[in-house]
Structure 1
Amino acid sequence: MNEHIHDDGADPVLQAQLRALPAERLPPARVWEQIAAQLPAAQSAASAPLTARRQRRRWPLRIGLGLAAGLAVLLVVPTAPPPVVQPSPLQHQADAIAQEYQQAIATLPTDTLAPDWQPTLHELDRSAASIRAAIAENPRSRYLLGQLQRTYALRLELTQQALIAAGLPS
């Protein structure tokens, strides 16, 4: 039973054979080529979860840096003043019509009008303001200028009727 027990220095032939083996054994070149071809696929498969985690951690950093860069651009780049918009000829006409209306209303004693006329007169004033705003948005609309003239004319006519109904001179 003791025949399988080995003594470290008991077999000098075996020891000599082991010492005769080369210290390194290099595989043939084709084996290295196969190993090299498989390395990128194996590395990407092994590092995919790690890469995904790195990318997940980096996106807030990228967004933050992008926002900071955008803010820096806004603070550094001088902004040009808005262009000065010249009023159109129609807007000048609308201003002239409004001024004539204001002068005509100023000559009338509108503070003594009956209260039942006030809602209608205020509605016409709101309509005129809306038309003026529409002219500012579309300064080439002759139709709007005509509507403004008709609204002011109607407002003056109703004011005069209210004064006549109140027994005041118009």
Structure 2
Amino acid sequence: MNRHDADHEHEHDELAARLRQLPAERLPPATAWQGIAARLREEPRLRPAVAVVPAPCRRRWLPIAAAAAVAALALLGTGRWRELHEQPPSPPESPLEVQADALADQYRQAIAAIPQDTVPAELVPALHELDASAAGIRSAIAQSPDAGFLLGQLRRTYALRLELTRQGLAAAGLAT
């Protein structure tokens, strides 16, 4: 430790000791509170918040200011209204997302051909889990449109969902 570090440490210790000597809480004198309370009770007209412009000056500029405000609202308001009510253009889909969409369409068509109300109740939780998994994979594809392996996982998940549905229907004695 050099001399500079020792001086700095001594100053730090001295400051810490002085801080410890300070009272934990300081209250303002009672007269300060009385002054604050008196100012709060004053009538608002005695404490103007803004400068008052003489009436002749206001009358001359009031129509111009009003017209300018209406014009600004008309110009800015219509543009802002359009911004709020128009949907922003969606970004173009990646080739992987296009393939995933096509795969999802094929899956929906295949599922639509199977009577879902006759699926055994014990398979429903597993089918919901597979559907949630497929949704998660679709979300991952949207976030990482270059991850081609996700398309394979999506394809396997859809195939497993269809196969499990068919097996459940076959076990129930229904044809698919």
State the TM-score, normalized to the length of structure 2: 0.50
Q: Residues 84 and 113 from structure 1, CA distance in 2 versus in 1: closer, same or farther, beyond 3 angstroms?
A: closer
Q: Residues 104 and 83 from structure 1, CA distance in 2 versus in 1: closer, same or farther, beyond 3 angstroms?
A: closer
Query: Which consecutive aligned stretches of 4+ in structure 1 deviate over 3 angstroms post-superposition?
Result: 81-84
What are the residue-to-residue correspondences of 1:1-170 with 2, within 5 Å?
A: 84-170=90-176
Alpha-carbon distance in 2 for matches of 1:114, 1:163: 7
C-alpha displacement at 1:83, in angstroms? 6.3
Alpha-carbon distance in 2 for matches of 1:146, 1:114: 28
Q: Deviations over 1:67-121 (max 9, x none)?
A: xxxxxxxx9xx99x96641001110000000000000000011211111010000
Alpha-carbon distance in 1 for matches of 2:96, 2:165: 26
Q: Residues 84 and 115 from structure 1, CA distance in 2 versus in 1: closer, same or farther, beyond 3 angstroms?
A: closer
Alpha-carbon distance in 2 for matches of 1:106, 1:86: 28
Q: State the AA in 2 paired with 1:85.
A: P
C-alpha displacement at 1:150, in angstroms? 0.4
Alpha-carbon distance in 2 for matches of 1:106, 1:83: 31
Question: How many residues are paired up?
Answer: 94
State the TM-score, normalized to the length of structure 1: 0.51
Please list every run of 5 or more consecutive structure 1 residues that lacks an aligned counterpart in the other structure: 1-74
When Rg is computed on C-alpha atoms for both structures, the one with the higher figure is 1
Please list every run of 5 or more consecutive structure 2 residues that lacks an aligned counterpart in the other structure: 1-75
C-alpha displacement at 1:140, in angstroms? 1.1
